[in-house]
Amino acid sequence: MKEKVEKTVSAKTAVAPVKAAAKKAAVVKSAAKKATAAKKSTAKKEAAAQKPAEEFSVFVTEMDQYLFGQGVHYDIYKKLGAHKTVKDGKEGIYFAVWAPKAVQVFVIGSFNEWNETSHPMTRLDPVGIHELFVPEAKIGDMYKFLIHTEKGTKLYKADPFANQAEFRPGTASIVADLTDLKWTDGAWMKKQETFVPDESPIAIYEVHPGSWMKHPHGPNEDGFYNYRLFAERCAEYCKKMGYTHVELMGIAEHPFDGSWGYQVTGYYAPTSRYGTPQDFAYMVNHFHKNGIGVILDWVPAHFPKDAHGLAEFDGACEYEYADTRKGEHPEWGTKVFDFSKSEVKNFLIGNALYWIEDFHIDGLRVDAVASILYLDYGRRDGQWVPNKYGGNKNLEAIEFFKHLNSVVRGKHHGVMMIAEESTAWPGVTARPEDDGLGFSEKWNMGWMHDFLDYMKLDPYFRKFNHNKMTFAMTYAYSEKYILVLSHDEVVHLKCSMINKMPGIYEDKFANLKAGYTFMIGHPGKKLLFMGQDFAQFREWSEERELDWYLLAEPIHQQLQNFVEDLLHLYRSNKALYELDTDPAGFEWINPDDADRSIFSFLRHSKDEKNNMLFVINFTPMARPDYRVGVVKKKQYRLVLNSDDVRYGGNGSERPVTYKAEDGECDGKPYSFAYDLPAYGVAVFKF
């Protein structure tokens, strides 16, 4: 037995090394297999990394030229400009520029010590693109295009498609790399695919980043905040206040601060005033992570005559109309884009998509739409050319807008395309297939002018101008509107919002609270310019920051508290936004109480479960016996009361709920009484 056990143990002992060796061999084989696979995978990845450089081909092809010439190459910006790539095994930068009238084009820059003859570009026909691969160039290099014109002159032009520009007063372009932008806003972007602006709360905070707040220890003498720090501060403020979106002025590169960004020289470059393209991407990403949408001012109407810009780019009128009666704005001293050229339209449509696709922008506010649509805009007789039918409509611009909005909104359903259009042009927000321009929203300039005219009046005279506040409801559903109190209304001797208000010091604040409440209750999305939510006294200037110190004064803090609560009330009640474009969403209680200058109206929700009643007194006369008519015999809960001490009121105790009683009032079958203070505001939910 002992022998048997010993034999068994001996056998096991003998087999063990064999098994171990086999096991080891298997492990080694498996490891070798994995190593080979990993090696292949790495090689594959490396090949893939090399492949896009040469095969994705930033290089311009015949098909690229054809599509660009047809005006439908919507990502042409990935070909023209300056792009990092590999050619014949060498890393470098590929430059390409559209300059059809140029005799010869050279690339000059820091990579060749601005040598004007060392790097001639090759012309590609038929559209007149010039190209050159420069192995010596790299990310971060400054450059320009030196253009020899048919007139024998030399032009030193910045790249129209550059993604970065030199900080002013420098005018060179900078080679940038947008392939390393970091995004963590996937959830936001997914939600935006199904975003329906018509039925959503939209409260926009219009901001000029360079003057919102100055950095005491900024990197330059202007005290500009970097995009990153600005995003952190501004997103925090927007969340606190209840804004849903931020609309940024002056983001595309521009040479002159005083233009506020409305005279652009670098359409594809976030301004270097606040940092790099990577910093800009961080800003957008940060706003999105905090639930704030980002809208940019976009200027397809005109551009400045600065020597390094688009004006007479190749020695001829390349981007602008050649006829000065169409190609220049006499009042503004700027050039007008030539909407008859496919390549120019492509430049602009591609630019809109660039901001939306490459930088995750949620909407574009399109500036000065009327100036594009009307051939005689800002021009006297003899200064403009009629269209082929003898009229004043720019038929080419109409086609451009239809094309632009069809492409942008067709590809990105949740993106807002907002028209700043100041006339009664029909169908601005109608679909192109219904002969509309295809915008998603339009600024309601008519409402703004009537509202401000009324608010400026001494209360005694308001009863004679009562219709200024009611007239907008006669056309409220003709377009999809945004009610705006923008930067244009608080500059150049127009006074800030608080200084537009009549009356003694305290009355101004009470007036403004009443006005803002009327705005929130009125159908339409909302926009308010920075500083007006805490009653800045001084007019806005791009040269200084907002007067934040005013918030140390209780009366300014109280107004800000009121706007904050008003915005949160707006966002949390569907009745105030989901039927903005449907007449079923609004009902006057009494639009005709001119003698007392009191407005009362209802906002309805789709389910009729959470409706809102507004009562607003625009005089300094208290109405302790005020009775308001209502349509339902319900309980009405007071949800906003301007007499609250948080808003600077006297804090008088009053009931929270009011029971409607039988008895006609304001043409309604029921009513209840409410103690309405001077300039009093009351909002009820039922």
Asked if 619 and 596 count as a contact pair (C-beta separation under 8 A), the reply is yes
Which tokens in the block code for residue 126? 């038929």
How many C-alpha atoms does 51 have within 13 Å on its Cβ side?
6
Give the Cα separation of 395 and 349 in Å (integer). 17
Alpha-carbon distance values, 426 to 49, 301, 435, 439, 580 (Å): 51, 19, 9, 12, 19
Are the C-beta atoms of residues 91 and 132 closer than 8 Å to each other?
Answer: no
Is 420 a known active-site residue?
Answer: yes
* Residue 8 neighbours by CB under 8 Å, 6+ apart: none
For 90, the token pair is: 């060498």
What is the C-alpha separation between 260 and 250, in angstroms, rounded? 5
Largest CA distance in the chain: 125
HSE, side-chain direction, 13 A CA sphere, residue 624: 1
Taking the CA of residue 234 as centre, how many other CA atoms within 13 Å lie in the half-sphere pointing to its CB?
35
Which residue of the set 253, 338, 420, 578 is catalytic? Answer: 420
In this structure, what are the phi and psi dihedrals at residue 248, rounded to the nearest 5 degrees? -100, 125
Q: Are 639 and 685 in contact (CB under 8 A)?
A: yes
Q: Pull the structure tokens for residue 2.
A: 């002992």
| Strand 635-641 versus strand 302-303 pairing type | unpaired
CA 681 to chain centre: 32
- Give dist(CA 528, CA 510) in Å, integer: 18
Q: Which one of 367, 533, 643, 644 is the catalytic residue? A: 367
Please tell me the number of Cα atoms within 13 Å of 205 on its side-chain side: 28
Q: What is the DSSP string of 7-22?
A: HHHHHHHHHHHHHHHH
Residues 660-664: contacts with CB under 8 Å, at least 24 apart: 660/630, 660/632, 660/633, 660/634, 660/635, 660/636, 661/633, 662/633, 664/629
Residue from 312, 297, 225 nearest 267 by CA: 297
Going by C-alpha positions, the residue among 152, 148, 175 that lies closest to residue 164 is 175
Going by the DSSP 8-state scheme, the letter that residue 540 receives in this structure is: P
- Cβ neighbours, 10 Å, residue 651: 12
| Cα–Cα distance, 546 to 528 (Å, whole number) | 14
648: its two tokens = 């600077």
Run of H or E residues at 129: strand 129-134
Tokens of 667: 């043409």
Nearest to 385 by CA among 471, 457, 334, 323: 323
Q: How far apart (Å, rounded) are the C-alpha atoms in residues 175 and 173?
A: 7
Rg (CA), the chain: 31
Burial of residue 474 (CB within 10 Å: 0-12, 13-18, 19+) is exposed
- With beta carbons less than 8 A apart as the criterion, state whether 75 and 81 touch: no
Contact 173, 454 (CB under 8 A): no
Per DSSP, 367 falls in state T
Residue type (1 letter), 455 = M
Catalytic residue flag (residue 367)? yes
DSSP lists the bridge partners of residue 496 as none
The residues that are catalytic are: 367, 420
